[in-house]
Amino acid sequence: MTLNNSIPAWGISVRECGASGNGTTDDGPAFEKALAKHTGPVVVPPGFYKIAKSIRLPSGTRIMAHPEARMFFADGTGIDSHSFLLTNSDHENGNQDIAVEGGIWDGNNLGNPRGPDAPNSYTGVLVNFKKVQNLTLLNMTLKDPESYNIRFCEVRNFRVENISLFTTRTRPNQDGVHVGGGCEDGFIRNIAGFGRMTPNDDLVPLVADDALNRAQNIGKANGPVRRITILDLKADDCHSFLRLASVWNPIEDVVASGVHGGCQNCAVNCDALRYCRVPVFDPAKPPFPDGAGLLSNIRLSDFEIYRTLGTDGDGPSLNPLLLLETRMRNFSIERFYRVQNKDAVPDAPTLRIRNTAVTGLSIEGLSVEDLKQDTRISPSVCMEQQRMATSTNTEAFRLALNFQIHDEITSRCAKFKALRITG
């Protein structure tokens, strides 16, 4: 049996433990008391819950919040690197079997400014989980983080579904679901950013390596990211949809499908972090003889994307929608479509490939126009061009290319059937 078809009628209600839900009284102690009882799920009825101390979830915890239950990070609560609206209780030894469903989780970034890039600064992260085995986040609305909406580090066997993101005050590094080093075996589905500049960074980044001295990354670790499935990403105006950030550690066995909407920068960013504000490595001295990072067994499909008028410096970003500048092996993108009648920056390329250390590359489904006017290929590339059979009378072609380490291809093609890098 459930109350309002949204929360269970059994378990421990935070109201029974003293929460007022009036938006003025600190309800953090009531949440803490309910979590300590461990006699069933912690139920959060509708209300406005002011939280002046991080909600820390022990192993075996389940929170079920009504869709109209709003948890609000009180002014001045973000004081150090251990401050999060929602997190697990043991970042050193880890936790297991944690589930959170429902609720509006509000970071109140206006009242909780991020600290400097220094030890123990407030990270600005809204929801943070570290070293958790078996984690589920469902049907949550996240609002106004100071940096990342959700941050995972060394989390294994996780499921994140039906997450809605809203931003009334944009801030740098407002990633959606930020999957950091050491994360494995994850399922991410139906992540949506609503409104202008939401999120104001990557919707779903997989980040094996990062600048750990930056405030938003304090407490993270670098390491491999493996076996992640990502389905159904949507945004009106995000910065970028999907990022695969690898410099020293690999990102392996990733499937992503169903990416729709508008972005200011990239649909897929695989730049090995070489263009970050704080560079992670010197591009003139890459970590490996043939470049940086390793993306292995990556399968992406079903993109329907257009560029929005976000700015990069003094004007709209002219970065390609698909920026591929990381060492790759068995990397593919199938059924990519750029929605030209919605695209606000038609001069920006669709595709750029370089610094990938590839030896074999094929692109299927290019038009005559793509080949004649909209595609530039390094002169040293060995290229074979073939006509493809199509179901219509239009001509389509397949390019097979053999790359050298410094070769490049840039294209403004509106769509293609498949891009494959064998490595």
Nearest 10 degrees: Cα torsion 357, 358, 364, 367? 40
Count of beta carbons in the 10 Å neighbourhood of residue 4 = 11
Beta carbons of 59 and 95 less than 8 angstroms apart: yes
Task: Tell me what pLDDT residue 313 has.
Answer: 61
- Interstrand relation of 150-153 and 104-106 (parallel, antiparallel or unpaired): unpaired
Distance (Å, rounded) from C-alpha 73 to C-alpha 49? 9
pLDDT tens-digit readout, 312-328? 566 677 899 999 999 99
Task: Tell me what pLDDT residue 404 has.
Answer: 74
**pLDDT surpassing 90 at residue 422:** no
pLDDT tens-digit readout, 18-68? 999 999 999 999 999 999 987 789 999 999 999 999 999 999 999 999 999
Provide, rounded to the nearest whole percent, the portion of the chain with pLDDT above 70.
94
pLDDT tens-digit readout, 108-151? 999 999 999 999 999 999 999 999 999 999 999 999 999 999 99
Nearest to 86 by CA among 40, 17, 132, 121: 132
Question: pTM value?
Answer: 0.94
Hey, is 310 helix, strand or coil?
A: coil
Tokens at 68, concatenated: 């109209």
**pLDDT surpassing 70 at residue 257:** yes
Beta carbons of 252 and 208 less than 8 angstroms apart: no
Distance (Å, rounded) from C-alpha 338 to C-alpha 413? 8
pLDDT tens-digit readout, 76-109? 999 999 999 999 999 999 999 999 999 999 999 9
Output the CA–CA distances (angstroms, integers) from residue 34 to 58, 173, 266, in the order listed.
12, 33, 43
Tokens at 195, concatenated: 């409104």
pLDDT tens-digit readout, 151-167? 999 999 999 999 999 99
**Complete domains list, the chain, with CATH:** 2-356 (2.160.20.10)
Output the CA–CA distances (angstroms, integers) from residue 109 to 67, 77, 185, 271, in the order listed.
21, 10, 31, 29
Task: Tell me what pLDDT residue 371 has.
Answer: 75
Beta carbons of 322 and 266 less than 8 angstroms apart: yes
3-class SS letters over 241-271: EEEEECCCCCEEEEEEEEEEEEEEEEEEEEC
Whose tokens are 């294994």? That residue is 156
Beta carbons of 226 and 253 less than 8 angstroms apart: yes
Beta carbons of 356 and 421 less than 8 angstroms apart: yes
Q: Which amino acid does the sequence have at 409?
A: I
Task: Tell me what pLDDT residue 311 has.
Answer: 63
pLDDT tens-digit readout, 175-227? 999 999 999 999 999 999 999 999 999 999 999 999 999 999 999 999 999 99
Nearest to 286 by CA among 321, 325, 252, 251: 325
Distance from CA of residue 247 to its chain's centroid? 17
